[in-house]
Amino acid sequence: MKSYTAELLGTFWLVLGGCGSAVLAAAFPDVGIGLLGVSLAFGLTVLTMAFAIGHISGCHLNPAVTVGLFAGGRFPASKVLPYIVAQVIGGVLAGAVLYVIASGQAGFDVAAGFASNGYGEHSPGGYSLTAALVCEVVMTAFFLFVIMGATDSRAPAGFAPIAIGLCLTLIHLISIPVTNTSVNPARSTGVALFVGDWAVSQLWLFWVAPIIGGVIGALAYRMVAEKE
């Protein structure tokens, strides 16, 4: 239960920190943090939690990471579903807290997006379903590739959280204009449930694509890193 609780709290922090920066601070008058700030915020949530709970649960914070690590031979099948449940609960709780905070401002409108992920008319840059699918698969694949490599026993010890946090920052710098960046079904679910409507109807993509990408990335790492 300690590892499941750690995953719940860690995912809560990721969604509150990352999506919170997008909802509350990205476009704040005159001194908004913008795309760069939101990208960094997501990276910092993973970096800080990796140091805080990496030794407890492995700090997955993401169903795609959990499934990917299972596919990569790094995680037992018996823990996959409990980890995913804990992550989704953490994401939804963070969405609830963020909703309470954001709705305290006059004129708040959850229909504006609430940092939800989307494609087509709900993509920040108007990107198509195909573009969103490819983007999410590829970004998550490389995220898992980096995670597998950074946590390999042959990698320099103690630096994995930095590499993984910076990788997530880079992913956001690339893909926020396309989908608002998911690469994490729990992150997407945590805010989509409060938007409802289009955010929920498009949520399937942000489960399917990251999980496919996670498996691809983990298997790719096994292929190139397998000891002779």
Q: Is the pLDDT of residue 213 over 80?
A: yes
Model pLDDT, residue 158: 87
Judge contact between 54 and 159, C-beta under 8 A.
Answer: no
Q: Which domain holds residue 98?
A: 1-225
DSSP state, residue 105: S
Six-digit token pair at 226? 């397998």
pLDDT in tens, 15-40: 999 999 999 988 766 667 888 999 99
Lowest mean per-residue pLDDT among 13-17, 111-115, 129-133, 171-175: 111-115
Residues of the chain above pLDDT 70, percent: 97
pLDDT in tens, 105-125: 888 888 888 999 999 999 999
Domains identified in the chain, total number: 1
**What is d(CA 131, CA 114) in angstroms, rounded to the nearest whole number?**
22
**What is d(CA 33, CA 18) in angstroms, rounded to the nearest whole number?**
12
Strands (E), 69-221: none
Judge contact between 195 and 111, C-beta under 8 A.
Answer: yes
Six-digit token pair at 224? 């190139």
Model pLDDT, residue 65: 97
pTM, 2 dp: 0.92
Torsion angle of C-alpha atoms 18, 34, 205, 190, degrees rounded to 10: 30
CATH number (domain holding residue 77): 1.20.1080.10
Alpha-carbon distances of 103 from 34, 45, 152, rounded to whole Å: 20, 23, 43
Mean pLDDT of 43-47: 96
Six-digit token pair at 43? 């990276």
